[in-house]
Structure 1
Amino acid sequence: MANKALMANAIRALAMDAVQQANSGHPGAPMGMADMAVALWSEHLRYNPANPHWFDRDRFVLSNGHASMMLYSVLHLTGYDLPMSEIKNFRQLHSKTPGHPEIDVTPGVETTTGPLGQGITNAVGMALAEKLLATEFNRKGHTIVDHHTYAFLGDGCMMEGISHEAAGLAGAWRLGKLIALYDDNGISIDGQVKPWFIDNTRERFEAHGWNVIGPLDGNDEKDVSKAIAKAKKSGADDNKPTLIICKTIIGKGSPHRQGTAKAHGEALGAEEIKLTREALHWPYPAFEIPKEVYDDWNHKAAGAEVEADWNSRFAAYAAAFPALASEFTRRMRGELPKDFNQTAFDTVVAAHTKAETVASRKASQLALESFTAALPEMLGGSADLTGSNLTNTKSTPPLRFDPKTGAVVLGAIAQPAKQGAEDEAKPASAADSVVTVASAEPLNIIGRHINYGVREFGMAAVMNGVTAHGGYIPYGGTFLTFSDYSRNAIRMAALMKRRVIHVFTHDSIGLGEDGPTHQSIEHAWSLRLIPNLDVWRPGDTAETAVAWAVALQNATRPTALLLSRQNIAYAPKTDLGDISRGAYVVSEPEAVGMKNKKTAAVIIATGSEVQLALAAQKLLAAKKIAVRVVSMPSTTTFDRQDVAYKKDVLPKKLPRIAVEMGVTAGWWKYGCAAVVGIDTFGESAPAPELFKYFGFTAENVAATVEAVLKR
């Protein structure tokens, strides 16, 4: 029988040794949560260290990511590809053990956590993805999606406001397979949290619709294990998520540091580590784990067995439903259908052919009608602004849950062709349309548009969890000015290199009367500063369709689409292919009758301001001044192009004038001689008055070009 006390002490020893060697880190939480980890990993979690990515594994999220050495210790001990050399290399350059867990860096890490509260919100997204995939793909007698999502979180996560957003959504969605274990040690960096954290956590989560177990002794492995078992049963019975409140002692085992703030974020020190080894009856030197402890932790054989069982069940499923199995595999791999490029091409060409004058938010919805019909994995939503963001389509009815059972409400389910009687057709309810894979085995149709409520940050972090889980491409909408609320989750998606699409409408002073509190000024460039985030501000329907196509094709980069409230006329163009390069010549002087006149300048514009640039081009032509107009819907994409293309679009010898209804700072990197922008906050007035007041007129753009040419 495994010695659970020694298993927990192995975590404590590795945590204090690694932090001491790095002279950086947080030993207290790993030492306090060691018994919780033993209970979960040795008795409940379904995983295979040899294959961290098999589809139906349980997911684990360490929301209090500063406790990373707990997770790294467990991954090492159970048999993941994380050797002792990496434990010794904790927090060092290019190690697999960074300060906070990072996906795709450490085998077994499911998401990148860092800022507190986002991890538990990611876990909500993962649990949602599991529930929706199970509804779509499972069939009677063939269950291929059936796993739990577990999260550890601490006092800091509880204090962050996003945890309220996450808990409310999890309760509303009845995520019965979500189990969170709260490390209630009562200590943060500033000391005991009692003076500033007086929440009744039990009542709070019960009010959010959760089952709550505890408080219990989180340093009693048996009690924790029993609580997890109870949580799994209750979640299955009533489809409610469960919070287990575990009272622990931070830095447990350290004679002088346990229970104190000093255990939180400081190395224990050589003398205290010596005393802790004695107190724990752990006679082994630093980074040495006895064979019997390794044997107790080793999960390779058990992991291989549980995966083999699932592989066998999936093989039976694939034999009964080959097309569904193929579709499931495609989606979990994050691959687009083979015909997607044709779908994208047709969508862009249709937008170009119709040449409609609409707001780019409407152009986005028009593109979405095509893409959501073609991609059943697209999972949309809005933070209480659906009618403004226009993120809903005919193929994405609202996601709803049965108030009694918590089950996902089915829109429709078609009778499988020539399948056995084990697949009973269910009656269809009202759904706007039915999206199916190209086969005789349709998906169960679920709602695919999420009403997140007024929870911008929560929406963004939930989407990160959905995409980290796999099976869906999430997108969500709000106003661009509210991207400030979402920003850190957007940054985490960029850091994780995950395909999440943010739809930000009302992108400028063009929203008018709502005033400066809602008018985006600095937000476009603020988002463009985030590494690995693509930002698109399209200027018409074709550019918007291209932006969506590129965002969907880019599996390693999130995207922000900045869209207008006001209508934008279509900009005539012939070469649609160059749009995807982020910037292109939309109009040469010849287009306004300047065929034999030497080009004098280049006007660069984005979004609705492309029309201003084109109008200014005509005014300048009347004065015998020839200018080129460049539309730059995505500066981030253009910046990645080769030097030759950049020089072709923006010739070095020509002065450049940028036009965008936002701060001017970012445009100077393109060698602009002038920028027509706005470096103050907006005003409350009808949009046409604001455009005139702030100088966003064709006349002012033309005058700016003339002034540059006279220098």
Structure 2
Amino acid sequence: MTDIAPSTVVPSVQTDQLAVDTLRFLAADMVEAAQSGHPGMPMGAAPMAWTLWSRHLRHDPADPEWADRDRFVLSAGHGSALLYGLLHLFGYDLPVEELWRFRQLGSRTPGHPEFGETPGVECTTGPLGQGLAMAVGMALAERMTAARYPEVTGHRTYAIVGDGCLMEGVSHEVASFAGHLRLGGLIVLWDDNEITIDGAVGRSCSDDQAARSAAYGWHTEVVADGTDIAAIDAALIRAKGDPRPSFLAVRTVIGHGAPGVAGTSKAHGSPLGAERLAQAKELAGWTLPPFIVPEQVEATCAVLASIGGAEHATWLEEFAEFDAVAPERAAEFRRARARLLPAGLPDALEAVAAQAPRATRQSSQACLHAALSVMPELVGGSADLAGSTGTVCGEVVHRDDFTAGAVAFGIREFGMAAILNGMSLHGGFRVFGSTFLVFADYLRPALRLSALMGQPVIYVLTHDSIAVGEDGPTHQPVEHVESLRVIPGLQVLRPADDVETALAWELALSRVDGPTALILSRQSLPQLDTAETATRPRTAGTDSAPSPTVGTVAARSSTPAGTSIEIVATGSEVAPAVAAAAQLRADGFDVRVVSVMDRSRFTPDAAAHTISIEAGSTAGWAGLVDLAIGIDEFGHSGPGDEVMARHGFTVRAVLDRIREYLDGAP
């Protein structure tokens, strides 16, 4: 697909100034009406935003989900009023009534941009740095899409970032990654206003951001005057012609034009106040009432939006030609964007079941390869641990070839997860990333945004307990599974063998409205006895998600007698639970064992003594079962089986705990 030229309609100098002032005062009016928000950033960054949207951004307000649109990310999400002003001016479904309702409950103009709440918002931003990271993910997805479907792909990704975005560590991770891959088509504008919430940037940071970006392999430019639209435009044109990612440092004044607060932290996070706002408008010669858009600006934006609609119509014609020439590829493009699963997935996953014991990370590797055989849109990688996490999946993408499906993220857990969010939001791919479970702490902020945005990112988290062994307590997760379970919208699955691992992958791939964490073992686990698992749920067809299940009945007493006991366990603890149950049956108890792969779906049997066994924190189990057997302390360095034994995870030790409980039970 040929490159897209800048808009053929260039507003006059007078219209430019009028549009910039419109954006400034729409933002200030929103904050004033709400008596809450951040007016300073929008007032300073309005010229660069207007230049980008009026001359370069390729989009169609009538269809915010057009596959080949340019993406725009406001990484400095506290300046959301600027984005809402742009969306309103260009005709997105954001009427002026929503601007009046800025930051109010139920409005489409929340305090920070939220994906799914406002048409035209590409991602949820506010946690600084993550917008930039998601923009990198979108740019990577664009390059990978263009490598597969060059006939119908030719868009770019733009982002506006602030000082806070660049100070956050994740910005270093993703800027390094983007420079390494030479993600041309990614253009970042830095709102260089030298102010943070607490005061001048110089109080805490003296980085040369342009030099830093250049060191990462980016094209860089400095625009000394952030009100000079011609200079910003020229810098954007040069950036679009460079094969590297571009970093444009645009010097601005926070709270531009607001007497007494412009250029200071006082303009950052508080309303200007009615008197100061009136003074700012008077200085700018602005006489219109709040929230009124000048007719000249309204007409210009309507023309610019129509150009975007025409570009979209041309693309639809190009796609129709592509469909006629390559119908199978076109159908694959549509299926992947619709997140529909291929018909052969359940059979491919079911075929991975083996007889010999193996770690569930190895079971997961087999599942991944099976899924890849029918899902070319399934892409991802690891934080430099693919061999250990079971996520080796072929050749990796590199700067000269983006046709592969594997991504080497390097030792950048946070960056990896945030990039995966951007790739998922871009559309056309199902994405996964992997690391050791204990390092989920490094990527948690991005995982939380996966859940908040409802993105089906799959997190493959291995080495799931103190059975990791010799690497010691720094690498032995204890509280991590429990801490993941409390994240709203995150599906946490800890399978016990091949059959459950295949089900876990199908559950993860069938889900399109939120992320999944697969919690997998380092050590080998036995395959559960199929003779004792007649009630184990099988997966449903591809027309719907697998049938919900609380778990698997792994073993049941054939002759009920006396006290009824329900032992629930997850992952590596299911097999020892089955062994303990056999001993308890010999004592005359009625016992069943349930493998609870997903605890959120589990309800204990009120008529039985329910006992949980999981090699991790008991915090979540304690209020759910009668006896929670777990680990509420850090582990030790040593062979995995010895460490497990020291913490009471042998069949004998478990039996002693259960018998002690039963002796004292009513």
How does the TM-score come out when normalised to structure 2?
0.94
Question: Does the 8 A contact of 2:551 with 2:598 survive in 1?
Answer: no
1:420-439, aligned counterparts within 5 Å?
none
Q: Give the equivalent residue in structure 2 for 1:162.
A: 170
- Alpha-carbon offset, residue 582 of structure 1: 4.3
Q: Give the equivalent residue in structure 1 for 2:654.
A: 701
Among 587, 607, 620, which residue is 1:623 paired with? 587
- Alpha-carbon offset, residue 661 of structure 1: 0.8
Q: Measure, in 1, the Cα distance between the counterparts of 2:648 and 2:241.
A: 64
Q: Give the equivalent residue in structure 2 for 1:421.
A: none
Among 322, 332, 336, which residue is 1:327 paired with? 332
Among 554, 561, 565, which residue is 1:587 paired with? 554
Q: Measure, in 2, the Cα distance between the counterparts of 1:345 and 1:701.
A: 37
Q: Give the equivalent residue in structure 2 for 1:443.
A: none
Secondary structure, aligned partner of 1:180: strand
Match status 1:691 vs 2:644: yes
Secondary structure, aligned partner of 2:615: coil
Instruction: Quickly say closer, same or farther: Cα 1:357–1:215, change in 2 above 3 A.
Output: same
- Alpha-carbon offset, residue 578 of structure 1: 6.1
- Alpha-carbon offset, residue 599 of structure 1: 5.5
1:184-583, aligned counterparts within 5 Å?
184-234=192-242, 239-298=243-302, 299-337=304-342, 339-340=343-344, 343-348=345-350, 350-352=351-353, 354-393=354-393, 396-402=394-400, 407-408=401-402, 446-572=403-529, 573-577=533-537, 581-583=548-550
Aligned length: 641
- Alpha-carbon offset, residue 223 of structure 1: 1.0
Q: Measure, in 2, the Cα distance between the counterparts of 1:22 and 1:463.
A: 34
Question: Does the 8 A contact of 1:50 with 1:304 survive in 2?
Answer: yes
Which AA in structure 1 matches 2:337?
M
Q: Measure, in 2, the Cα distance between the counterparts of 1:369 and 1:599.
A: 45
Question: Does the 8 A contact of 1:216 with 1:224 survive in 2?
Answer: no
- Alpha-carbon offset, residue 683 of structure 1: 1.0
Q: Measure, in 2, the Cα distance between the counterparts of 1:498 and 1:490.
A: 10
1:67-82, aligned counterparts within 5 Å?
67-82=79-94
Q: Measure, in 1, the Cα distance between the counterparts of 2:631 and 2:118.
A: 44
Q: Measure, in 1, the Cα distance between the counterparts of 2:132 and 2:263.
A: 24
Q: Give the equivalent residue in structure 2 for 1:424.
A: none
Q: Give the equivalent residue in structure 2 for 1:433.
A: none
Which AA in structure 2 matches 1:602?
E
Q: Measure, in 2, the Cα distance between the counterparts of 1:321 and 1:587.
A: 48
Q: Give the equivalent residue in structure 2 for 1:44.
A: 56
Secondary structure, aligned partner of 1:55: coil
Match status 1:674 vs 2:613: no
- Alpha-carbon offset, residue 355 of structure 1: 3.0
Q: Measure, in 2, the Cα distance between the counterparts of 1:565 and 1:214.
A: 50
Question: Does the 8 A contact of 2:40 with 2:256 survive in 1?
Answer: yes
Q: Give the equivalent residue in structure 2 for 1:413.
A: none
Question: Does the 8 A contact of 1:599 with 1:628 survive in 2?
Answer: no
Secondary structure, aligned partner of 1:577: coil
- Alpha-carbon offset, residue 598 of structure 1: 4.5
Instruction: Quickly say closer, same or farther: Cα 1:578–1:654, change in 2 above 3 A.
Output: farther
Question: Does the 8 A contact of 1:539 with 1:568 survive in 2?
Answer: yes
Instruction: Quickly say closer, same or farther: Cα 1:322–1:73, change in 2 above 3 A.
Output: same
Secondary structure, aligned partner of 1:666: coil
Question: Does the 8 A contact of 2:41 with 2:79 survive in 1?
Answer: yes
Which AA in structure 2 matches 1:560?
A
- Alpha-carbon offset, residue 208 of structure 1: 0.5
- Alpha-carbon offset, residue 222 of structure 1: 1.4
Which has the larger displacement, 1-10 or 580-589?
A: 580-589
- Alpha-carbon offset, residue 576 of structure 1: 3.7
Instruction: Quickly say closer, same or farther: Cα 1:588–1:513, change in 2 above 3 A.
Output: closer
Secondary structure, aligned partner of 2:420: helix
Which digits, 9 at most, give the CA deviation of each residue in 1:493-527, with x for residues without a partner? 10110110000011110100111111101100111
Which digits, 9 at most, give the CA deviation of each residue in 1:99-120, with x for residues without a partner? 1111111000111112000001
Instruction: Quickly say closer, same or farther: Cα 1:230–1:136, change in 2 above 3 A.
Output: same
CA RMSD of aligned residues (A): 1.4
Question: Does the 8 A contact of 2:339 with 2:428 survive in 1?
Answer: yes
Question: Does the 8 A contact of 1:601 with 1:705 survive in 2?
Answer: no
Which digits, 9 at most, give the CA deviation of each residue in 1:217-271, with x for residues without a partner? 222111111111110011xxxx210000000000111111110101000110111
- Alpha-carbon offset, residue 304 of structure 1: 1.4
Q: Measure, in 1, the Cα distance between the counterparts of 2:294 and 2:623.
A: 58
Among 26, 47, 50, which residue is 1:14 paired with? 26
Q: Give the equivalent residue in structure 2 for 1:661.
A: 615
- Alpha-carbon offset, residue 134 of structure 1: 0.6
Question: Does the 8 A contact of 2:223 with 2:232 survive in 1?
Answer: no
Which has the larger displacement, 1-10 or 117-126?
A: 1-10
Q: Measure, in 2, the Cα distance between the counterparts of 1:540 and 1:653.
A: 28
Q: Measure, in 1, the Cα distance between the counterparts of 2:454 and 2:124.
A: 10
Which AA in structure 2 matches 1:17?
D
Q: Measure, in 2, the Cα distance between the counterparts of 1:305 and 1:351.
A: 49
Question: Does the 8 A contact of 2:348 with 2:370 survive in 1?
Answer: no
Which AA in structure 2 matches 1:119?
G
Which AA in structure 1 matches 2:617?
V
Q: Give the equivalent residue in structure 1 for 2:6.
A: none
Question: Does the 8 A contact of 2:560 with 2:589 survive in 1?
Answer: no
Q: Give the equivalent residue in structure 1 for 2:5.
A: none
Question: Does the 8 A contact of 1:534 with 1:557 survive in 2?
Answer: yes
Question: Does the 8 A contact of 2:348 with 2:371 survive in 1?
Answer: no
Secondary structure, aligned partner of 1:461: helix
Q: Measure, in 1, the Cα distance between the counterparts of 2:623 and 2:254.
A: 49
How does the TM-score come out when normalised to structure 1?
0.88
Q: Measure, in 1, the Cα distance between the counterparts of 2:438 and 2:227.
A: 45
Unaligned runs of 5+ in 2: 1-10, 540-546
Q: Measure, in 1, the Cα distance between the counterparts of 2:93 and 2:506.
A: 37
Secondary structure, aligned partner of 1:665: coil
Q: Measure, in 1, the Cα distance between the counterparts of 2:605 and 2:462.
A: 32
Which digits, 9 at most, give the CA deviation of each residue in 1:191-225, with x for residues without a partner? 00112111111111111110001143222111111
Secondary structure, aligned partner of 2:126: coil
Question: Does the 8 A contact of 2:537 with 2:552 survive in 1?
Answer: no
Q: Give the equivalent residue in structure 2 for 1:177.
A: 185
Q: Measure, in 1, the Cα distance between the counterparts of 2:630 and 2:199.
A: 47
- Alpha-carbon offset, residue 587 of structure 1: 3.1
Q: Measure, in 1, the Cα distance between the counterparts of 2:197 and 2:177.
A: 29
Secondary structure, aligned partner of 2:262: coil
Match status 1:634 vs 2:598: yes
Q: Measure, in 2, the Cα distance between the counterparts of 1:624 and 1:336.
A: 48
Secondary structure, aligned partner of 2:512: coil
Which AA in structure 1 matches 2:322?
Y
Q: Give the equivalent residue in structure 2 for 1:125.
A: 137
Q: Give the equivalent residue in structure 2 for 1:418.
A: none
Q: Measure, in 1, the Cα distance between the counterparts of 2:192 and 2:262.
A: 14
Secondary structure, aligned partner of 1:46: coil
Question: Does the 8 A contact of 1:589 with 1:599 survive in 2?
Answer: no
Q: Give the equivalent residue in structure 2 for 1:134.
A: 146
Question: Does the 8 A contact of 1:463 with 1:500 survive in 2?
Answer: yes
Among 569, 572, 575, which residue is 1:605 paired with? 569
Q: Measure, in 2, the Cα distance between the counterparts of 1:213 and 1:585.
A: 59
Question: Does the 8 A contact of 2:564 with 2:607 survive in 1?
Answer: no
Instruction: Quickly say closer, same or farther: Cα 1:399–1:567, change in 2 above 3 A.
Output: same
Question: Does the 8 A contact of 1:29 with 1:251 survive in 2?
Answer: yes
Which digits, 9 at most, give the CA deviation of each residue in 1:316-370, with x for residues without a partner? 1112111111111221222222x14xx224522x344x33310010010011111
